[in-house]
Every structure is written in C-alpha cells, then in structure tokens.
C-alpha cells in the first residue's frame, strides 16, 4: 500500500511539473513577443508548405509579393485553403546545393515540399547522373521525414545536345516513379518561349509568368494538401 501511494504521489508531482513547464513556455513566448508554438495535434492547423528551389522560386527580379511561393500562398488562400508557403529558393542553386542546405531549409512541422531544382544544373552542363543522385537524396530524406512532395521538372536546352537532353529530361519522371511523388513535368510550362511572360533577361518569368506557373501547379498542390489533411485523422 505504501508503495502504491508513493507511486501515485510521484505521478501527481510529475503531472503538476509538466503543467507548470507548459505554462512557463507559454508565458515566456508571450513576454518575448513570440507566438506560442503551434498545436501539432490540431487537425485544422494551416498546412505548412516549403518551396525548395533556385531563382525561379526565389523570385529573381520580382517584388517579394510576386514570387512563386507568395503568389501560390495567396491563390490557395483565395480558394479557402489554410496554408503557409515558405520561400526556400536561392538564386543560382543546383540540385547539389539544395541537398547541402536541405535540413536548414526545411524546418520541423513542414508537411509539403515543392522541389524545384535542376535548371542551373542543365545550364551548367552538370552530369545528369549527379543531378539525379542529388535530387534522389533529397526525396529520400524528405520521405523519411514523412513529408509529401511535388517534384517540378526541367528540360535541357536543345543547344546542349540531344544525348544530354534525353538523359537530363528523364531524371524527373524516373525519380517521381521511384519515390512515388507527384510530378509537374516542366516548371515553365506555358511560360517558356513567350516573351510576354519572361523578363528582359530572356530566362526568368515576370509577374504574369509566375501567375501562369501557379495556375498550372495549383491542382496538384490542392491534391497534396487534401492528402495531408486526410492523414492528420
């Protein structure tokens, strides 16, 4: 009997301590001007999306509000989705660069990643096997973290040569099949070659071009959000 009472008192003491710790964390957060950490058990919390990419994601040459992540977030919210979309695009990044900064760019609580890398690899003539290995490592690590992924593809310029082009273009469908992730075959679909949608550099989309990209990927992103919300139970 004595041991039973001692164990009960110990449990009560631990529970009380846990309540005090929780209260302390909340008060400290409020006093520091920070919001309390989100309740990850709340099934109605916003879906956190990160766009991991290069200048096409970073919004090269555009105001911050016209970048791909910003316009995607606004479009989803306009359709009634509770989301936050984080811009993790770095101009000039290759797939290997994205792999090196993966952990720092994809914080805890991320549920969806839009993986947009490879354009700089093709531009620099990186061996397609190197690009594929880097993207594969990213996908594998995201899968281990149970993060849902939309992979956006890229097409090598014809001037690089047909053999390189065939090898490079095959990277994205092959990886999407291997890792069972969603695929948007070409990130500049409907934009590339249209001077009305491209900046003066002839490469990067302008604000109108970004909106075309968003409209193209939106249905696939909506499906991923629905899958994430359903998995929350």
Of the candidate ranges 2-11, 108-117, 143-152, 179-188, the one whose mean pLDDT is the lowest: 2-11
Average pLDDT over residues 192-211: 97
The reported pLDDT for the residue numbered 37 is 46
The residue ranges of every structural domain in the chain are 1-37, 47-231
C-alpha R_g of the chain: 22
Answer yes or no: 4 catalytic.
Answer: no
Q: Could you write out the DSSP letters of every residue in 127-172?
A: -HHHHHHHHHHHHHHHHHTT-EEEEEP----GGG-HHHHHHHHTHH
> Who's near 205: CB < 8 A, 6+ residues apart?
56, 188, 191, 197, 198, 199, 212, 213
Answer yes or no: 201 catalytic.
Answer: yes
Question: Higher-confidence residue: 36 or 110?
Answer: 110
How far is it, in rounded angstroms, from Cα 152 to Cα 171?
A: 11
Instruction: Note the CATH number of domain 47-231.
Output: 3.40.50.1110
Given 55, 57, 67, 105, the catalytic residue: 55
Given 32, 39, 195, 201, the catalytic residue: 201
What is the per-residue pLDDT across 8-58, written as a single tens digit (0 to 9) for each? 344 444 344 444 444 443 344 444 444 444 555 676 899 999 999 999 999
Averaged pLDDT score across all residues of the chain: 87
Average pLDDT over residues 203-212: 98
Asked if residues 89 and 126 have their Cβ atoms less than 8 Å apart, the reply is no
The reported pLDDT for the residue numbered 51 is 98
Given 54, 57, 204, 211, the catalytic residue: 204
Q: What's the order of all strands across the beta sheet hosting 83-89?
A: 83-89, 47-53, 112-116, 148-152, 182-184
pLDDT above 80 for 7? no
Of the candidate ranges 6-10, 90-94, 164-168, 176-180, the one whose mean pLDDT is the lowest: 6-10
What share of the chain in percent tops pLDDT 90? 80
Question: Higher-confidence residue: 29 or 97?
Answer: 97
Average pLDDT over residues 88-109: 98
Residues facing residue 115 across a β-bridge: 52, 151
What share of the chain in percent tops pLDDT 70? 82
Indicate yes or no: pTM above 0.95.
no
């Amino acid at each position: 009997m004595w041991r039973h009472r001692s164990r009960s008192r110990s449990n009560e003491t631990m529970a009380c301590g846990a309540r005090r710790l929780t209260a302390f964390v909340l008060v400290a957060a409020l006093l520091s001007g920070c919001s309390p950490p989100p309740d990850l058990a709340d099934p109605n919390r916003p879906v956190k999306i990160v766009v991991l990419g290069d200048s096409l994601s970073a919004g090269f040459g555009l105001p911050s509000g016209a970048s791909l992540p910003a316009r995607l977030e606004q479009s989803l919210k306009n359709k009634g989705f509770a989301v936050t979309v984080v811009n993790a695009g770095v101009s000039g990044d290759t797939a290997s660069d994205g792999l090196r900064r993966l952990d720092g760019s994809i914080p805890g609580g991320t549920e969806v990643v839009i993986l947009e890398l490879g354009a700089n690899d093709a531009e620099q003539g990186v061996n397609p096997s190197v690009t594929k290995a880097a993207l594969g490592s990213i996908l594998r690590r995201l899968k281990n973290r149970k993060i849902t992924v939309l992979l956006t593809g890229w097409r090598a310029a014809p001037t690089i040569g047909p053999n390189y082009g065939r090898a490079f273009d095959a990277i994205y469908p092959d990886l999407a099949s291997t890792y069972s992730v969603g695929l948007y075959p070409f990130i500049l679909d409907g934009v590339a070659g249209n001077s009305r949608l491209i900046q003066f550099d002839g490469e990067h989309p302008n604000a109108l071009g970004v909106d075309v990209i968003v409209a193209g990927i939106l249905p696939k992103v909506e499906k991923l959000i629905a899958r994430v919300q359903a998995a929350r139970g």
